[in-house]
Amino acid sequence: MSTERTLILLKPDAVQRSLRGEILRRIEAKGYGIVALAQRTATAEELSSHYAEHEGKPFYQPLVDYMGSAPLVAIVAEGEKVIEGFRSLAGATNPTSAAPGTIRGDLGREWDLPVIQNLVHGSDSPESAAREIAIWFPEVG
């Protein structure tokens, strides 16, 4: 097996609800290493690059607006099968249907908003991870 990297974003709802420590604890408890970590408010350029494949979809602008509305935490995590493993740890996109034991299942809330506030993002493939890491942490490459 080879070690891989993924981008994880703790979204504004996770930061606003002071869940950074709990989510990081779960990532590290799973055995993944933290290569880079930064809390900041995302720029319009970062968000338009990150969500480029969704441009033109009805949820695109509300998502970009939400993600830029408050600080988030960007993380590069590393480990064996970290992409698949973190996505499993995160749980289903909708917190209401996410399984207990997952980040979204245990900690997520469903809001009747233009965008589901589901605490975290994780890259969905090695190609996405490389593209996303380059956006958020160009120095890590």
Confirm whether residue 87 is marked as ligand binding: yes
**Tokens standing for residue 25:** 């604890």
Catalytic residue among 86, 121, 135, 136: 121
Instruction: Provide the token pair at 54.
Output: 């969704």
Distances (CA, A) of 112 to 75, 115, 133: 28, 8, 30
Ligand-binding annotation for 20, yes or no, is: no
Is 11 annotated in some ligand binding site?
A: yes
Report how far apart the first and last C-alpha atoms of the chain are (Å, whole number): 21
| 50 catalytic per annotation | no
Ligand-binding site membership of 86 (annotated): no
Is there a contact between 98 and 104 (Cβ–Cβ < 8 Å)? yes
Q: Which residues are catalytic?
A: 121
As annotated, the binding site for ATP includes: 11, 59, 87, 93, 104, 118
As annotated, the binding site includes: 11, 59, 87, 93, 104, 118
